[in-house]
Amino acid sequence: MPDPEKEFAEEWRDAAYNCFSSGHKFCREVCPVMQVTRNESWSPTAFHANVVAMEKGELEVADVAADYVNCTGCGACELRCPNSLFTGDFYRFRTRTVDLVKAVRGLAVEQGLHQPGWQRWNLLTDERRHEPVLGATPVEQARVRDWADGLDLPIGGESILFVDCEAAFHRTSVPRSVARILNLAGYPFGLMNEQWCCGGPAAEMGYEEQARRFARHNLDDWRAAGVRRVLVLDPHDYITFTEDYPKYFGDAYDIEIVLVVELLAELIREGRLTPHVPVERAVTYHDPCRLNKRKGVWREPREILRAIPGLTFHDVDRVTQWSYCSGGGGGLPVEKPELTAKISEQRVGKAAELGVDTLVSACPWSERPLSEAGAARSIDVVDLHELLAESLGVAP
């Protein structure tokens, strides 16, 4: 076994045994990939067991690199792990399957083992500074602020709004809604001077060197402009800025990261925003995995929905939603779009059972696959920020 693999197995061995020894597999039925494939090789348990096998010399990363594609990074498995669920983090040894999957993907790339779709995606991202979310249509640095045309937003300032690649180039109605709402509330903010992709997707697919380069650029850009606070509307960015960047930059990283959904709920609570235009829709809310399962953010989106007049809100509790996912995360739609589509179909099917006409999400990356699945069932997929803007009379 090559040395980096040996080092990797040594680093992760005890954590892997903690899962292997438990043997419960309670993670399995909440795992979105497992639910649609029923293939035990792609279960969180297998991802840990493989490390035990690597340590025993039974496997090499080349044997399993492709298996680790099959994870959306939703974090459901960690929540459902009896090792974590029952004792919490009493032993400071919480199950960290998402980190493990990222680490294996990183190790694979380090060994020159590439997944073709991911390799192409990250090459293009590296060239264009943004993810190729428009397929054949190139994304360009010059157009990263096009979504804000006509909004007269300043560049720089103490607080800036960071817009992820999907929202900046594809679902532009989301950042436009956010900008209009913040303006309405009189909350001052600007745009970034030279925004690059946050680097999170590269890190998730194993391209950590690239991810660090992008992070370095963004942090330097913030520093140069005197930015103190970054407003984030995308849950994936929120993870990157609150988990990856601190890991890259340590104590020197002193930027305050504000999740827009939390900010908007606060502004409503303080009376600085009052939704008043009735929105006549029967909705249910899709808890974005990275908010609900990984960050424990589930109250504020519901608070916002309950503040919008006219809505009939069929809520499904956050724990039930541990097993829901759009399939849009962790690079899965890049490498295995057919699995993303199945996961989204299943999620929309759950909404259909409630008899709603609208599925509200708060994650731009979930909205494309969910919209595609929703179209087949005549269910609209609407972003929470868009819905709030409508009710505030500032539709994008």
Distance in angstroms (rounded) separating the CA atoms of residues 367 and 378? 15
In the bound complex, what is the minimum distance in angstroms from residue 23's beta carbon to other proteins?
3
- Decide if residue 183 touches other proteins (CB under 8 A): no
* Binding string, residues 60-79; x marks residues near other proteins by CB under 8 A: ---xx--x------------
- Decide if residue 351 touches other proteins (CB under 8 A): no
10, 11, 14, 220: which one contacts other proteins (CB under 8 A)? Answer: 14
DSSP string covering 65-95, please?
Answer: TTGGGS-----HHHHH-HHHHHHTTTTS---
Nearer to other proteins, 51 or 273 (CB): 51
Nearer to other proteins, 256 or 353 (CB): 353
∠ CA 354-395-355 to the nearest 5 degrees? 10
Q: Cα 169 vs. chain centroid, distance in angstroms?
A: 17
Which residues neighbour 270 within 8 Å (Cβ) at sequence distance 6 or greater? none
- Decide if residue 22 touches other proteins (CB under 8 A): yes
Three-state secondary-structure class, residue 38: coil
- Decide if residue 93 touches other proteins (CB under 8 A): yes
Nearer to other proteins, 82 or 309 (CB): 82
Angle between the N-to-C axes of helices 337-353 and 364-375, in degrees from 0 to 180, rounded to the nearest 10: 70
Which of 81-89, 167-175, 215-223, 388-396 is the region at the interface with other proteins (rule: CB under 8 A)? 81-89
Q: Is the dihedral of CA 135, 210, 370, 386 positive or negative?
A: negative
DSSP string covering 154-197, please?
Answer: PB-SSEEEE--HIIIII-THHHHHHHHHHHHHT---EE-SS---
Which residues neighbour 251 within 8 Å (Cβ) at sequence distance 6 or greater? none
5, 9, 32, 59: which one contacts other proteins (CB under 8 A)? Answer: 59
Nearer to other proteins, 88 or 186 (CB): 88
- Decide if residue 24 touches other proteins (CB under 8 A): yes
Which of 18-26, 210-218, 220-228, 257-265 is the region at the interface with other proteins (rule: CB under 8 A)? 18-26
Using CA atoms, how far residue 59 sits from 15, 56, 100, 176, in Å, is 17, 8, 16, 49
Nearer to other proteins, 137 or 320 (CB): 320
- Decide if residue 83 touches other proteins (CB under 8 A): yes
In the bound complex, what is the minimum distance in angstroms from residue 39's beta carbon to other proteins?
7
Nearer to other proteins, 131 or 287 (CB): 287
What is the dihedral angle through the alpha carbons of 27, 330, 12, 65, rounded to the nearest 10 degrees?
100
Residue 30 corresponds to which tokens in the numbers above? 């909440």
Distance in angstroms (rounded) separating the CA atoms of residues 222 and 253? 11
Nearer to other proteins, 169 or 322 (CB): 322
Residues 289-328 that bind other proteins (CB under 8 A): 320
- Decide if residue 217 touches other proteins (CB under 8 A): no
In the bound complex, what is the minimum distance in angstroms from residue 367's beta carbon to other proteins?
25
- Decide if residue 20 touches other proteins (CB under 8 A): yes
Residue 358 corresponds to which tokens in the numbers above? 């609208």
Nearer to other proteins, 82 or 138 (CB): 82
- The footprint of other proteins (CB under 8 A) covers 13-14, 17-18, 20-26, 28-29, 38-41, 43, 45-46, 49-50, 52-53, 56, 58-59, 63-64, 67, 80, 82-83, 85-88, 90-91, 93, 320, 353
